[in-house]
């Protein structure tokens, strides 16, 4: 084990799916039950097939793509050959073996010395140990562990077809194939039979003392699986494919389903349960109902079947009476139901979510003391619950750089005085805080102008559009209102609003409209054309700030009126500049024109500007945006062709 902890230290991408899920599950709160619930990742970790690194077994590790060296190690481990490989002292190795740690080099040398195992490298005496693998490549490894041989038993292009016939393939469509999927596929292989035998891989490994039989018991537990439908997304089913449901009224009362209700919605319960690797076993628990029966829960929600589902794959209970729903998993939002409030948004654990009626899309005006009472809600990868659309959920970047989940563009919050699931104590507080009724909510009563201000702890106040998307100015527009053209506009799309409205802290007279050279309209602020930045995906992002030292957000208090450009001319004739010292205003342009038969140019001594070499009759214009003293020369004749331009505020 110590060897493989060193592996992860020496090469972070290395160690297999090595146990990340197990650590996360072990550190989570244990459910108040004696039931035995284990995830596929925990199971394989307990068996010693997956091993954690020094930083633990967290989500970040599980989400890393799996590498070829990891796959090779797992192959040896499942064949019971790992220790033999680690002890191998042969020196003939792949030419790229130095890319891995010393133990890994021993493993590669062992694989090279035993070509019958099937690990002959990628050609050219190379193994390519750190390249990532595909699902097909790992299932090939598992088939070989089970005794099948490439070329004689299958062709690589048919890997998944053969895998399906022996009970493998749950992670077959995963892209990228990560350490998380290693856990799923490996558990499948443990339960599969060795080619030509009646025994499973797990049984053979127990017989050869490679695995502990007691730790294999979860393979016989009742299991939960994922199913998927286009209109529902991913949801939970039992081992026979029967769909599981939650009851939105359970958010307030875990015994809300009683009597006749239970005839139509039988409880799901198992005291020994195995769940998919993607799920945290600690999210599952058991409750004792009022009638003394036990029921399995997921994130606090009791799980049910529907009597109207006649066979595996049926989802006839979905949205029945708008209170029964499939259990979307993994998910971070759900629907609660309470008398007088109807269906409203909760987090995955049933805690009520709220909106603030003073917020506008993409902008939270709750800060400081407000946030102490109304903490932000944020979750990645929300799967939209029934009654909502996936596009209803988004993310904004708050003024301090943290993220917050939004619904239809509006920030979502908790209430600090909601002490347990189902509480709705924040409803109607100060007539501005409300639960989110998914069937009725459209927007707040706050005015949402075309342009408003956002605040950043780093940048201060700056302009955003009605969705909270940041607006920018381009300093080169000082000289030419169409300075951004062609590919520039791909990265910096223009902003324009018909019937422009602005927030109360802005002056409508500061805004205008220009017609660009291509005929399109563009809104301006204090004379500056306004743009978006293509890399700003979320409201509140300011990734365009200071790009190339020419793109900036617009702080209303600091943005000056765009100066009207003044134009100056300097003639080059008889080997001299026509004006030895020229004083101009910032934002002005100077056009240099050569009248000699030989080529001249104008180049600043400090490198701040440089024209090309101008032939007779050629000109070039230079913008002077910043105040300063600019000494310049003609480079071919710099010993005597000198002049100065002084730029004032």
Q: pLDDT, tens digit, for every residue of 191-229?
A: 999 999 999 999 999 999 989 999 999 999 999 999 999
Q: Which residue reads 């284990």 in tokens?
A: 38
Mean pLDDT of 284-298: 96
Counting residues of the chain whose pLDDT is more than 70, the rounded percentage is 93
Would you say residue 413 has pLDDT above 50? yes
Q: How far apart are CA 438 and CA 341, in angstroms?
A: 11
Say how far apart CA 391 and CA 389 lie, in whole Å.
5
**Tokens found for residue 256:** 């809300």
Backbone angles phi, psi at 110, to 5 degrees: -65, -45
Q: What is the pLDDT of residues 421-439, one digit of tens each?
A: 999 999 999 999 999 999 8
Query: Residue 54 — very low, low, confident or very high, per pLDDT cuts 50/70/90?
Result: low
Q: What is the pLDDT of residue 649?
A: 77
State residue 225 phi and psi, 5-degree precision.
-135, 170
pLDDT for 27 beyond 70: no
Average pLDDT rounded to a whole number, residues 6-10: 33
Cα 472 versus chain centre, distance? 25
Instruction: Phi first, then psi: give them for residue 612, nearest 5 degrees.
Output: -70, 170
Contact status, residue 344 vs residue 338, Cβ threshold 8 Å: yes
Residue 33: is its pLDDT beyond 50? no
Please give the average per-residue pLDDT across 160-169, as a whole number. Answer: 97
pLDDT at residue 7 greater than cutoff 70: no
DSSP designation for 322 = G
Element (H, E) at 604: strand 603-604
Integer Cα distance of 410 and 406 in angstroms:
5
> For 307-319, what is each residue's pLDDT tens digit?
999 999 999 999 9
- What pLDDT does 531 receive? 98
For tokens 């708008």, name the residue: 322
17-31, 149-163, 478-492, 515-529: lowest mean pLDDT where? 17-31
> Is pLDDT at 31 greater than 90 in this prediction?
no
- What pLDDT score was predicted for residue 10? 34
Nearest to 24 by CA among 50, 65, 69, 62: 62
Indicate if the pLDDT at residue 374 is higher than 90: yes
* Mean per-residue pLDDT over the chain, rounded: 90
Asked whether the predicted pLDDT for residue 188 surpasses 70, the reply is yes
Task: Tell me the average pLDDT across 452-461.
Answer: 93
pLDDT average, residue stretch 498-503: 94
Distances (CA, A) of 562 to 88, 503, 565, 583, 638: 73, 21, 9, 20, 35
48 or 4: which leads in pLDDT? 48
Tokens of 584: 């101009």
Please report the DSSP string for 138-158 in residue order.
HHHHHHHHTT--BTTTB-GGG
pLDDT above 90 (res 61): no
Residue 301: the pLDDT is 96
pLDDT above 60: residue 601: yes
Confidence (pLDDT) at 490: 97
Q: How many Å apart are CA 646 and CA 649, to the nearest integer?
A: 10
Q: What residues contact residue 51 under an 8 Å CB cut-off, 6+ apart?
A: 1, 4, 5, 15, 16, 18, 19, 45
Lowest mean pLDDT among 150-159, 265-274, 585-594, 612-621: 585-594
d(CA 154, CA 217): 32
Q: Are strands 588-594 and 619-624 parallel, antiparallel or unpaired?
A: antiparallel
pLDDT at 57: 62
Longest distance between any two alpha carbons in the chain, whole Å: 107
Local confidence band at 52 (pLDDT 50, 70, 90 cut-offs): low
Q: What is the pLDDT of residues 505-553, one digit of tens each?
A: 999 999 999 888 788 999 999 999 999 999 999 999 999 999 999 999 9
d(CA 502, CA 85): 70
- 479 pLDDT above the threshold of 70: no
Average pLDDT on 552-571 reads: 88
Q: For the segment 345-367, what is each residue's pLDDT rounded down to a tens digit?
A: 999 999 999 999 999 999 999 99
Find the helix packing angle between 135-145 and 179-191, rounded to 10°: 30
Q: Domains (ranges, CATH) in the chain?
A: 2-219 (no CATH), 222-330 (no CATH), 342-435 (no CATH), 451-553 (no CATH), 567-648 (2.60.40.420)
What was the pLDDT predicted at 587? 74
Q: How far apart are CA 193 and CA 196, in angstroms?
A: 8
Distance separating alpha carbons of residues 517 and 526, to the nearest angstrom: 20
φ, ψ dihedrals at 424, nearest 5°: -135, 40
| Per-residue pLDDT at 112 exceeds 60 | yes
Q: What pLDDT is attached to residue 32? A: 45
């Amino acid at each position: 084990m110590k060897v493989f902890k060193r592996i992860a230290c020496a090469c972070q991408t290395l160690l297999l799916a090595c146990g990340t899920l197990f650590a996360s599950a072990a550190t989570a709160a244990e459910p108040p039950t004696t039931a035995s619930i284990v995830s596929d990742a925990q199971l394989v970790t307990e068996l010693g097939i997956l091993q954690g690194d020094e930083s633990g077994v967290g989500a970040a590790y599980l989400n890393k793509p799996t590498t070829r060296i990891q796959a090779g190690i797992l192959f040896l481990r499942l064949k019971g050959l790992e220790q033999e490989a680690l002890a191998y002292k042969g020196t003939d190795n792949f030419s790229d073996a130095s890319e891995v740690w010393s133990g890994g080099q021993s493993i590669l040398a062992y694989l090279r010395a035993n070509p019958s195992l099937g690990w002959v490298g990628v050609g050219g005496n190379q193994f390519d140990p750190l390249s990532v693998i595909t699902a097909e490549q790992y299932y090939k490894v598992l088939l070989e562990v089970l005794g099948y041989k490439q070329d004689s038993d299958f062709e690589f292009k048919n890997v998944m077809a053969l895998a399906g016939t022996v009970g493998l393939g749950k992670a077959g469509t995963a892209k990228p194939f990560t350490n998380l999927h290693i856990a799923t596929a490996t558990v499948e292989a443990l339960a599969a039979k060795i080619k030509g035998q009646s025994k499973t891989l797990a049984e053979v490994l127990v017989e050869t003392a490679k695995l502990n039989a007691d730790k294999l018991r979860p393979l016989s537990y009742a299991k939960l699986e994922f199913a998927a439908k286009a209109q529902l997304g991913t949801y939970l089913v039992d081992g026979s494919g029967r769909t599981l449901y939650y009851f939105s009224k359970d958010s307030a009362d875990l015994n809300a389903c009683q009597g006749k209700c239970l005839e139509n919605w039988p409880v799901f319960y198992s005291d020994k349960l195995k769940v998919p690797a993607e799920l945290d076993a600690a999210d599952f628990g058991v409750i004792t109902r009022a009638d003394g029966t036990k029921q399995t829960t997921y994130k606090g929600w009791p799980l049910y079947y529907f009597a109207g589902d006649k066979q595996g794959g049926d989802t006839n209970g979905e949205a029945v009476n708008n209170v029964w729903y499939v259990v979307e998993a993994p998910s971070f939002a759900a629907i609660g139901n309470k008398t007088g409030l109807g269906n409203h948004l909760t987090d995955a654990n049933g805690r009520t979510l709220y909106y603030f009626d003073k917020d506008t899309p993409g902008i939270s005006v709750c800060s400081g003391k407000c946030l102490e009472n109304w903490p932000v809600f944020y979750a990645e990868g929300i799967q939209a619950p029934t009654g909502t659309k996936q596009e209803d959920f988004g993310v904004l970047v708050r003024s301090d750089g943290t993220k917050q989940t939004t619904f239809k563009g509006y920030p979502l919050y908790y209430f600090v005085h909601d002490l347990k699931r189902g509480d709705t104590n924040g409803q109607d507080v100060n007539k501005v805080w409300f639960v989110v009724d998914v069937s009725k909510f459209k927007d707040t009563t706050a005015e949402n102008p075309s342009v408003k201000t956002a605040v950043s702890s780093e940048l201060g106040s700056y302009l955003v559009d009605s969705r909270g998307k940041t607006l920018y100015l381009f300093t080169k527009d000082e000289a030419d209102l169409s300075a951004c053209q062609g590919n520039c506009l791909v990265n910096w799309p223009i902003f324009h609003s018909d019937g422009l409205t602005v927030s109360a802290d802005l002056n409508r007279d500061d805004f205008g409209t220009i017609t660009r050279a291509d005929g399109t309209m563009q809104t301006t602020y204090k004379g500056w054309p306004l743009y978006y930045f293509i890399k700003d995906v979320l409201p509140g992002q300011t990734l365009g700030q200071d790009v190339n030292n020419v793109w900036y957000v617009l702080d209303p208090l600091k943005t000056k009126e765009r100066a009207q450009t003044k134009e100056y001319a300097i003639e080059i004739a008889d080997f001299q500049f026509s004006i030895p010292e020229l004083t101009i205003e910032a934002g002005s342009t100077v056009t240099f024109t050569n009248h000699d038969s030989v080529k001249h140019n104008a180049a600043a001594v400090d490198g701040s500007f440089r024209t090309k070499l101008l032939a007779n009759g050629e000109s070039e214009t230079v913008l002077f945006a910043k105040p300063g003293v600019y000494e310049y020369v003609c480079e071919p004749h710099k010993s005597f062709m000198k002049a100065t331009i002084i730029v004032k505020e």
